[in-house]
């Protein structure tokens, strides 16, 4: 009996992959690295920091009992190589599907590259990032919601007598309004910002009896529709935090809050689909004002081409729309939360950015008006691009992606068996920290040949420095040099890399461009007391700042 217990106990212990560094203490216990992981202040940071702890760019951790170790990779060039050039050796595993499964099981993000359904999904959604749709359908909606955000902040600054106030929920409401307007053409009566403006107009903030303390505005009651949409990233983060993501989400649905939100989402999609179909039917010709219009129009034509009845209420359309909402809301809101912090902290950056925008939109500045949406979209402002790119790099909103090896292979000389999960860092060494030493010959031939496409960062990699993205080039019309934005100035993986990188990248840049331009044009972000501008983060679906306050004055 004792021998059987000993044998079964030994069989349950983690089985390290040969030659790859790991925590020796963790290999001797059933739960492996889980105690270290759970004890860490920031769990994602603990993960991507493990290779540095071992002094190498590749290490392994034991996160799941009875499962193979997870291999960690923290090097920009290697991540790009795996995601861009080695798709036959590495594909998306099951983790994405497990984490998003209850919310949107048919979302293309969850599919492996080899899945035959992936191409059908790509064809269905391809027009959503086309320049024509972005400029004609997306941009005006984003601009309108950004104007509403400015109105809300002017109201709060007035009612708060110039005191600081928290803005994270406002930025989440604004980006939700933007993506809902683009996704559905959602009416202003359902707008989170409009609800908040009406609420603030009818209340008085509270003022703690402490000098410099922020004005506190009680949040507006959340409508059922908004509750269902705000709940999407919460459900995914529940799954991310669990070793059993599908089970944890199913369990969460027993909670009345999550069950109600799940039902409200389905009801919202059905109602918006009815309205979109009515618009398309009445129009006769395609007048696609929203992403849902585009999806339904494509389904209409696809059905006609093969002689079948269209399925406008299919799980595919529903889940692609929910995925569009998820991808277009949470990460942009978090990026803007970090950006307003940086503007308060780095006053010289804020001043230079405002000056650059005023120079670029000189007519708007001289006539005391906001730049129009066409002016914002059509005008090149290199320093604006630099601030946006540096915010994405420095904030490290998303920090890890997962691939699974589809064959026996190697990473930087380490043997990787088929079926191993590879967790790759989108931040840390080589991106926001100095790179770890790597022998050039251990890289793939393709990686060696593309070595000079993106140069490594200088020693100031850990600083917030937008000008790192600018370079001087000779003006084609004169002998003078001018500053231009260089997207390949150095490593950045904010949107991942390769053919499976973030689908909504173009929309995200558009939202940032419009919101950043209008906010810096309208407000001066004054310096905050350190108690309101700490560096602590909150790990949810993405990394959020714990403190997100503004103290505003007119620009």
pLDDT tens series, the chain, 555 aa: 445 444 455 567 899 999 999 999 998 898 888 899 989 999 999 999 999 999 999 999 998 878 899 999 999 999 999 999 998 999 988 888 888 878 888 898 888 888 888 888 888 888 889 999 999 989 999 999 999 999 999 999 999 998 999 999 999 999 999 999 999 887 777 789 999 999 999 998 888 887 778 999 998 888 888 888 888 888 888 888 887 888 888 898 899 999 999 999 989 999 999 988 888 877 655 667 889 998 998 888 888 888 899 999 999 999 999 888 888 888 999 999 999 999 999 999 999 999 999 999 999 999 999 999 999 999 999 999 999 999 999 999 999 999 999 999 999 999 999 999 999 999 999 999 999 999 999 999 999 999 889 999 999 999 999 999 999 888 777 778 888 999 999 999 999 998 888 889 999 999 999 999 999 999 999 999 999 999 999 998 899 999 999 999 988
* Three-class secondary structure of residue 286 per DSSP: coil
For residue 3, the model assigns a pLDDT of 53
Q: Residues annotated in the binding site, as ranges?
A: 502
- pLDDT at residue 188, as a whole number: 73
**Residue 410 pairs with which residues in a beta bridge?**
415
Q: Minimal CA–CA distance to 205: which of 197, 216, 213, 195?
A: 216
- The closest of 516, 460, 142, 161 to 343, measured between CA atoms, is 516
Tell me the pTM: 0.92
Residue 132: enclosing H or E segment and its boundaries? helix 131-133
Return the pLDDT at 4: 46
- Per residue, the 3-state secondary structure of 25-45, as one string, reads CHHHCCCCCHHHHHHCCCHHH
pLDDT of residue 6: 47
Residue 362 CA to its chain's centroid (Å): 32
Interatomic CA distance for residues 342 and 535, integer angstroms: 11
pLDDT of amino acid 433: 95
Angle at 307 between CA 303 and CA 309, to 5 degrees: 55
Residue 20 makes CB contacts below 8 A (sequence gap 6+) with: 58, 59, 60, 69, 71, 414
User: Residues annotated in the binding site for heme, as ranges?
Assistant: 502
Spatial distance between the Cα atoms of 2 and 425, rounded to a whole number of angstroms: 43
- Separation of CA 383 from chain center: 22
| pLDDT for the residue numbered 5 | 45
How far apart are alpha carbons 414 and 225 in whole angstroms?
49
What pLDDT, on a 0 to 100 scale, did the predictor assign at position 285?
53
pLDDT of residue 198: 93
CA gap 221, 218 in Å, rounded: 9
Q: Which domains does the chain have, with CATH numbers?
A: 18-101+399-450 (3.30.43.20), 131-397+486-490+494-553 (1.10.630.10)
Closest among 193, 174, 184 to 137, alpha carbons compared: 184
Contact 23/377 with Cβ under 8 angstroms?
no
């Amino acid at each position: 009996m004792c021998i059987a217990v000993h044998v079964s106990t030994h069989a349950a212990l983690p089985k390290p992959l040969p030659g790859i560094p790991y925590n020796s203490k963790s290999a001797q216990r059933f739960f492996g690295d889980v105690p270290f992981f759970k004890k860490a202040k920031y769990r994602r940071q603990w993960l991507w920091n493990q290779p540095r702890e071992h002094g190498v760019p590749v290490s392994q951790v034991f996160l799941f009992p009875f499962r193979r170790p997870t291999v960690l990779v923290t090097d920009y060039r290697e991540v790009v190589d795996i995601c861009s050039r080695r798709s036959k050796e590495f594909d998306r595993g099951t983790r994405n599907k497990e984490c998003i499964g209850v919310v949107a099981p048919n979302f293309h993000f969850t599919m492996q590259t080899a899945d035959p359904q992936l191409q059908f999904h790509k064809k269905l959604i391809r027009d959503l990032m086309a320049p024509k749709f972005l400029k004609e359908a997306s941009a005006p909606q984003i601009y309108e919601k950004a104007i509403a955000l400015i109105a809300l902040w002017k109201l709060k600054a007035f009612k708060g007598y110039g005191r600081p106030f928290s803005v994270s929920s406002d930025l989440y409401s604004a980006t939700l309004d933007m993506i809902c307007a683009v996704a559905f053409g959602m009416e202003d009566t359902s707008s989170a910002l409009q609800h908040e403006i009406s609420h603030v107009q009818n209340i008085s903030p509270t003022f703690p009896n402490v000098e410099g303390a922020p004005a506190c505005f009680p949040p507006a009651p959340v409508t059922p529709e908004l509750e269902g949409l705000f709940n999407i990233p919460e459900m995914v983060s529940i799954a991310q935090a669990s070793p059993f993501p599908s089970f944890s989400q199913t369990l969460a649905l027993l909670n009345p809050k999550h069950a109600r939100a799940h039902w409200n989402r389905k009801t919202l999609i059905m109602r918006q689909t009815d309205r979109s179909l009515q618009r398309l039917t009445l129009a006769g010709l395609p007048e696609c004002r929203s992403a849902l219009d585009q999806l339904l129009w494509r389904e209409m034509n696809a059905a006609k081409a093969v002689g079948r009845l269209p399925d406008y209420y299919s799980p595919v359309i529903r889940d692609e729309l929910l995925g569009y909402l998820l991808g277009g809301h949470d990460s942009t809101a978090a990026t803007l939360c970090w950006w307003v912090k940086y503007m308060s902290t780095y006053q010289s950056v804020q001043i230079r950015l405002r000056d650059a925008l005023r120079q670029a939109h000189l007519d708007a500045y001289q006539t005391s008006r906001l730049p129009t949406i066409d002016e914002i979209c059509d005008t090149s402002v290199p320093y604006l691009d630099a601030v946006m790119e540096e915010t994405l790099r420095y904030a490290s909103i998303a920090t890890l992606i997962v691939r699974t090896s589809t064959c026996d292979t190697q990473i930087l000389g380490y043997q990787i068996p088929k079926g191993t999960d590879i967790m790759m860092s989108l931040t840390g060494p080589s991106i926001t920290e100095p790179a770890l030493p790597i022998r050039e010959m251990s890289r793939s031939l393709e990686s060696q040949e593309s070595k000079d496409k993106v140069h490594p960062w200088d020693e100031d990699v850990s600083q917030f420095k937008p000008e790192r993205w600018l370079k001087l080039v000779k003006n084609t019309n004169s002998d003078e040099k001018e500053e231009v934005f260089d997207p390949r100035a150095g490593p950045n993986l904010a949107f991942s890399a390769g053919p499976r990188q973030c689908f909504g990248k173009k929309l995200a840049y558009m939202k940032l461009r419009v919101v950043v331009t209008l906010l810096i044009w309208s407000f001066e972000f004054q310096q905050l007391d350190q108690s309101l501008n700490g560096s602590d983060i909150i790990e949810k679906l993405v990394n959020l700042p714990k403190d997100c306050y503004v103290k505003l004055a007119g620009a």
